[in-house]
Amino acid sequence: MRRSRVIRMAAWTLLAGVAHAAETTASATPTAPAPTTSAADAHLRDTHPADDAIVITVGESTLRASELRRRWRQIPKFQRDNFGPSIAEQYGHFIQQLVIPDLLLSEGAKAKATETSARLKNQWDYTLVETLDHAQTEALQGQIGPEQVKKYYEAHRSHFQRPAQIQIWRILTGNVERAKSILKQVRGTGGPQRWSALAREHSLDKATYMRKGNLGFIDPTGQSHMPQVRVNPALYGAASQVQDGEIVATPVAVGNRFAVVWRRGSLPEQIRSLEDATAEIRQVLVAQRVNDERATLLTRLRKQQLSQVDLTLLKEVSKYSALPAAAGNGRLAPSAKADPTRSGVHAPEPGSQGLR
């Protein structure tokens, strides 16, 4: 709560300062003197001459004069003017309206943390981990040099330079006559609507027949954008002779089989230069370094700090299933001893497609 409040106050103050600076610049003449805070500083020194003097105490929190002056100077002059006409009034209202409420909220947060320490401790731990990652990321940003970026680019050139690709749907048949028959059906009126049914009924490729024969985006080598799919380059060659959305006019011979080919779309060649990819590569390399350093840190801390791991409770939890509670006692029956027929739930039985 304190952190979010501080962030909101800082953001409001910054925006207000920018707005005031713009207004002052627009309205002031070139010879207008710059406003000073010497009078305010003098008042602060007169009020609290010693830097280490404790000015405010709230619960266990204290605020010294040096810190109070620092906070006061961070507030733009136009905002101070809203606190009152004189410096003494501005200073007093600043303390009553901003400083003391902030300290009170801080003490309230500490008390709340005592009441819900487990939940807040988890949030605090997570914040610490994020802060550590952020600090490591910032520290490593300047350690990634041009040579490292170039080395990564050369090793992953295919990621930054992609050949032209064509999205192909294919119905694979065992003979040319069957392929010609399917071609007639898909090229006539309502043919595209019949494609899905014809693929399911006739395609010999059981890996794709249920998805309309979709092979994905194919490059000139026959490699699909889906890593597990690679086809005969003749399909790309045939599809490259027609426009997007068109069906190749004749069956395409693929070994001893014949394919009906539909060009569904295409992607142009993509070439990203080293200069264009540098920012992205730096992010990847920094992330890799952060992960490596975190793994090294965890290994070291595990040896230094981890002294005991007791999995007994987890073993106890695993004994219980998600069966409905027995009537009257609200407990879950142990799965190893449960009688499914008594709870009205049938135990899974092996079938042709697994347990049912």
Structural domains present in the chain: 2-26+34-117 (no CATH), 158-271 (3.10.50.40)
Burial environment of residue 148 by CB neighbours within 10 A (0 to 12, 13 to 18, 19 or more): middle
313 compared with 334, residue with greater pLDDT: 313
What pLDDT is attached to residue 88?
Answer: 84
Cβ pair 236, 223 in contact under 8 A: no
The pLDDT, as a whole number, for residue 106 is 79
Question: What's the one-letter identity of residue 34?
Answer: A
Per-residue confidence band for 168, with pLDDT thresholds at 50, 70 and 90: very high
Would the pTM count as exceeding 0.75?
no
Largest CA distance in the chain: 104
| Cα 338 off chain centre by | 43
